[in-house]
Amino acid sequence: MTDLADPARPDPPLAHLAAGRARAAVAGLGWSLVNVALTTLLAAGVFLVTSRLLAPEDFGAVALAAAVVALVGVAVPTAFGEALIQRAELRRDHLDTVFWLALLAGAVGYTAILLAAPAAAERSGVPVLAGILPVLGLRLLFDAALTVPAALLARRMRFRLVALRTAVANGLGALVCLVLVLQGFALWALVAAQLVTSAAAWAVAQASAGWRPGLAVTRAALADLGRFGLYAMGGRALTEARLDQLLLGWALGPAALGLFYFARRLHQMLADLTSGAFGPVSNALMASLQAEPEKRREAYLTASFAAAAAAFPVFAGLIAVAPLAVPLVFGGQWAGAVLAVRCLSVVGLMAALGVLQAALIRNLGRPDWWFRYQAAMQLSTIPVVLLLAPAGLDAILAGLVARTLLLWPLSVRQAGRMLDMAPARYLANLAAPALSAAVMAAAVAALPRLAPELPAGALLAAQVAGGAALYAGLLGLAAHRRLGAILRQLRAGARP
């Protein structure tokens, strides 16, 4: 057993994997796929039930409370867990320092929420916030305590345990949510589900990581992790502060915010189901390949093709079927969210690759660049919302899509530089899934005009089934060699 008594001594069991990375990555991707599939299935069930029982105003109230908690949570250094994953040499004092720093910040943040809840309810004109915020704010404590054990599981590529943690957490959250819904507490079901999910995730990760917090807190450890950790913390602050939700709630009220929150939840579930499986694996893999450029380039191109092949048809198809699918599946009260769903689906096409771009750029030593990119993306939300608020929610969403289209090429170019590869080659890697998804979406959108006599349910089923078959056929024709090579890599990596 390794002696951990000396906090300055390197810990060999905490090192990145050097042997068996291919097998670990393949197995990790498989577990991540199982993880996101189960998680999305549970989330979809809860989402479907609650969206039929709640009005947009109720969704808006929960979204506003979540945005307030997220805004306070940006001061909690949970992103230092990413620095634990990225660092080549890890010691016990790194772990203890991050744990106690995060937990202390979480306690301070929760105290601030308790004190501010009554004023937030009064100033927002949403009285229920006074009760929601003290309950939902407890997430800060569980998320803070989760930081180190979750980072250790990811660093050692123990994705089976990550999948177990997420499955248990989301399963318990969904169960609590559905029980409260059946008891008539639909709004509080959304609140309780988030809290239970966070608590269960921490409990399972803590039990699985094989680590217990000690008192080896040092300034040297904080200095070692500071640069990467602060940039990661800043980036997470920009994405999780939910500036768009706060501004929309303030400018347009809870009803419009509820429509946006509905669209965002649908977008997030589909993103998790497609590209979400690549996030945990790509972070650990890119960190372990910092000194191996050829392997890194091949791994990145393979992963980006696979992510595009999974995400492009889903979001392109949703753009085509949204006018029929949203009110039919979720209820007529959500018809006003159709454009929001379509706009966020356009963003989803680019975000599918953003997961991999972030892993590449940050873990190869440029967390500062990725932070500046996120800052430009998120802070530009403020003028877009303020300028277009008089024109309504649809105009704001169109403006946010235009902003994303203008800035996204910057991340493509930077990723190409990190790989020492021309952007044209990088984009050519995505041509087959992009063209196949575009043709599929056009055919799906044309089907209602070709078969106007079909009932709505049958038409939607035909669009989904026909679109899936058409896309699979087109991609098989356009990229059969690439698909075959990926399959051979998967088989080779899966061999013991």
User: What pLDDT does residue 495 have?
Assistant: 47
Task: Find out whether 447 and 459 touch, Cβ atoms under 8 Å.
Answer: yes
Q: What is the pLDDT of residue 6?
A: 45
Residues 6+ apart with CB under 8 A from 319: 342, 345, 346, 441
pLDDT at 492: 56
Closest CA to 97 of 206, 213, 203: 213
- Averaged pLDDT in 10-residue chunks for the chain of 496 residues: 39 47 55 64 69 70 80 82 78 89 92 89 80 90 90 75 72 78 76 85 82 86 80 72 72 80 83 71 66 77 86 93 90 86 90 82 81 86 88 88 90 86 81 93 91 87 93 90 73 51
As a whole number of angstroms, the distance between CA 62 and CA 47 comes to: 13
Q: Residue ranges of the domains in the chain? A: 19-241, 252-496
